[in-house]
């Protein structure tokens, strides 16, 4: 067991050889204020999962690079440390912070506190929340408040990129890797060096790419397609999901070892219906923004519209509220827009029919395309059943 110190910061390295040592990690983690990092030569995946579940922030394989260890210090040795008392002085709030953290209620304060705590470390962060809650903006706020703020912020959405292209997009390729590869292509991991890589919708990544991502997180390196030698990367990984990944793991839809690698720190972004205190403040902020943007004279929402904003559940969360206020400003008549918004909610059956049309129309209907279509639809079906039954697996099994 070895500890390293730098000023008031430190890390604790623990040699791990068997499952019995995982219990030691848990005991140490409860008493040690510093991050606990496990080290082994060739750990079995089951051991890695057990140790990370026990509280270690990472599991490194020997030989361990010094640069990798230094990344766990909030202020790296040799870097510029803040003057005494500067730790408590908040940084200037950037545009990403303003967009992601407009709320002033308890939920917003909790998220902001977590961002402040994790920003100046390099550990992975898993951001969880429903569609439209602003997960990507929270990720940008983490980046903007970190020591990497001057580096690149690179975003990838696995759901929007076919699997074959996603591997190229993430890792790049070497010249001559395939027909048409006339020169090297730098992937997103290469672009995010010295910065932050956001995997926006990590649950949409298939198992093969999950295994490759796990390798990057473990060893800090990746191999472009067709290349002979791996490339080191120090990109910080942030990931978002609208699902409970632990339940996806138990249902065979996500790798357990990758889940514990990503879930070093998690930030839950609450839905707007849990942030009633924020509704009027957010509405006022959006109203002010769009009046200025479209050159409109500032005005206040009518009492009827304010009541609607407070009572409506906002299934699309902040994104839907933003769209509503923007429409109010552009139309100049909040009563008409409010009436329209109340009546535009589609019937469930009509929406289901449209959704299925979209599903069938989105896939390649060749033999291989059909196989991928079936896999994709099965995956979506399981997720939707889990969500509808609030992740109660017994009910889900009976339905499926």
Confidence of residue 365 (pLDDT cuts 50, 70, 90): low
List, for residues 12-25, the tens digit of each pLDDT value. Answer: 788 877 766 767 76
> Most confidently modeled of 57-61, 114-118, 375-379?
114-118
pLDDT tens column, 186-210: 999 999 999 999 999 999 999 999 9
CATH code of the domain in which 117 resides: 3.40.50.300
Q: Give the domain CATH number at 20.
A: 3.40.50.2300
pLDDT in the model for residue 72: 61
Q: Answer whether residue 65 is part of any domain.
A: yes
Query: Range of 21's domain?
Result: 2-70
Q: Which residue has the higher pLDDT, 89 or 101?
A: 101
Contact 88, 23 (CB under 8 A): no
Nearest to 163 by CA among 24, 363, 303, 29: 363
Rg of the chain, C-alpha, whole Å: 24
> Does one domain contain both 374 and 289?
no
257 shares a domain with 298: no
Q: Which two tokens stand for residue 175?
A: 């010249």
320 and 368 assigned to the same domain: no
Whole-structure pTM over 0.75, yes or no?
A: no
As a whole-number percent, the residues of the chain with pLDDT over 70 amount to 65
Peptide bond into 63 cis (omega under 30): yes
Asked whether residue 86 is assigned to any structural domain, the reply reads no
Same domain? 27 vs 149 = no
- Dmax over Cα atoms in the chain, in whole Å? 68
Q: Is residue 355 part of a domain?
A: yes
Looking at 241-302, list the stretches that DSSP marks H as alpha helix, in order from N- to C-terminal side: 245-250, 256-262, 279-293
pLDDT (tens digit per residue) in 107-157: 567 788 888 888 888 999 999 999 999 898 899 989 988 999 889 999 999
Write b or e for each residue in 258-269: b if 16 or more Cβ atoms lie within 10 A of its Cβ, otherwise e.
bbbbbbbbbbbb
122: Cβ contacts below 8 Å, ≥ 6 apart: 71, 72, 234, 236
Least confident of 89-98, 292-301, 341-350, 381-390: 89-98
Mean per-residue pLDDT over the chain, rounded:
77
Which of 268, 285, 301 terminates a domain? The answer is 268
Q: Which of 343, 359, 385 is the last residue of a domain?
A: 343
Residue 221 lies in a domain: yes
Query: Are 211 and 304 in the same domain?
Result: no
pLDDT of residue 180: 79
Answer yes or no: do 151 and 257 share one domain: yes
Same structural domain, 99 and 245: yes
Q: What is the pLDDT of residue 173?
A: 92
Q: How far apart are the first and last CA of the chain?
A: 49
User: Which residues, other chains included, contact 88 with Cβ-Cβ below 8 Å and sequence gap of 6+?
Assistant: none
79 is a domain residue = no
Judgement on whether residues 224 and 122 belong to the same structural domain of the protein: yes
Decide which of 237, 268, 299 is a domain's last residue.
268
Do 277 and 311 lie in one domain? The reply is: yes
Lowest mean pLDDT among 264-273, 293-302, 361-370, 380-389: 361-370
If asked whether residues 105 and 16 sit together in one domain, one would say no
Q: How many separate domains does the chain show?
A: 4
Residue with tokens 């129309």: 361
Helix then strand count (H, E) for the chain reads 18, 13
Q: Assess whether 329 and 196 both reside in one domain.
A: no
Per residue in 283-307, pLDDT tens? 988 899 899 999 999 999 999 999 9
**216 or 333, higher pLDDT:** 216
Do 285 and 203 share a domain, yes or no? no
């Amino acid at each position: 067991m070895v500890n390293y110190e730098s000023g008031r910061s430190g890390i604790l390295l623990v040699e791990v050889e068997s499952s019995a040592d995982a219990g030691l990690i848990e005991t140490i983690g409860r008493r040690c204020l510093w991050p606990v990092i496990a080290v082994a030569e060739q750990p079995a995946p089951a051991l890695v999962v057990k140790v990370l579940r026990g509280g270690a922030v990472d599991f490194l394989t020997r030989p361990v690079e010094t640069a990798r260890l230094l990344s766990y210090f909030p202020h790296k040795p040799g870097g510029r440390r803040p003057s005494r008392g500067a730790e408590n002085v908040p940084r200037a709030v950037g545009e990403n912070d303003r967009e992601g953290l407009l709320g002033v209620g308890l939920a917003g304060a909790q998220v902001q506190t977590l961002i402040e705590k994790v920003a100046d470390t390099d550990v992975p962060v898993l951001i969880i929340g429903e569609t439209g809650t602003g997960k990507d903006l929270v990720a940008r706020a983490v980046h903007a408040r970190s020591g990497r703020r001057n580096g690149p912020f690179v975003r990838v959405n696995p759901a929007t990129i076919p699997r074959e292209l996603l591997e190229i997009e993430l890792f790049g390729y070497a010249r001559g890797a395939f027909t048409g590869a006339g020169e090297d292509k730098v992937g997103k991991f290469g672009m995010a060096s010295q910065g932050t890589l956001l995997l926006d919708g990590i649950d949409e990544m298939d198992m093969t790419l999950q295994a490759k991502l796990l390798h990057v997180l473990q060893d800090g390196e990746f191999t472009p397609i067709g290349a002979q030698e791996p490339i080191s990367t120090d990109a910080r990984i942030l990931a978002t999901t609208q699902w409970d990944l632990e339940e996806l793991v138990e249902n065979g839809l996500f790798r357990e070892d990758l889940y514990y690698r990503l879930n070093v720190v998690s930030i839950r972004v609450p839905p707007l219906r849990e942030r009633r205190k924020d509704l009027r403040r957010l509405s006022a902020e959006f109203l002010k923004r769009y009046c200025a943007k479209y050159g409109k004279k500032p005005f206040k929402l009518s009492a009827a519209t304010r009541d609607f904003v407070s009572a409506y559940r906002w299934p699309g969360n902040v994104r839907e509220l933003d769209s509503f206020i923007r429409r109010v400003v552009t139309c100049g008549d909040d009563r008409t827009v409010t009436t329209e918004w109340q009546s535009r909610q589609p019937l469930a059956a009509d929406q289901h029919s449209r959704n299925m049309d979209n599903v069938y129309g989105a896939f390649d209907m060749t033999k291989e395309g059909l196989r991928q279509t079936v896999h994709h639809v099965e995956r979506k079906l399981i997720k939707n059943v889990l969500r509808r039954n609030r992740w109660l697996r017994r009910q889900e099994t009976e339905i499926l």
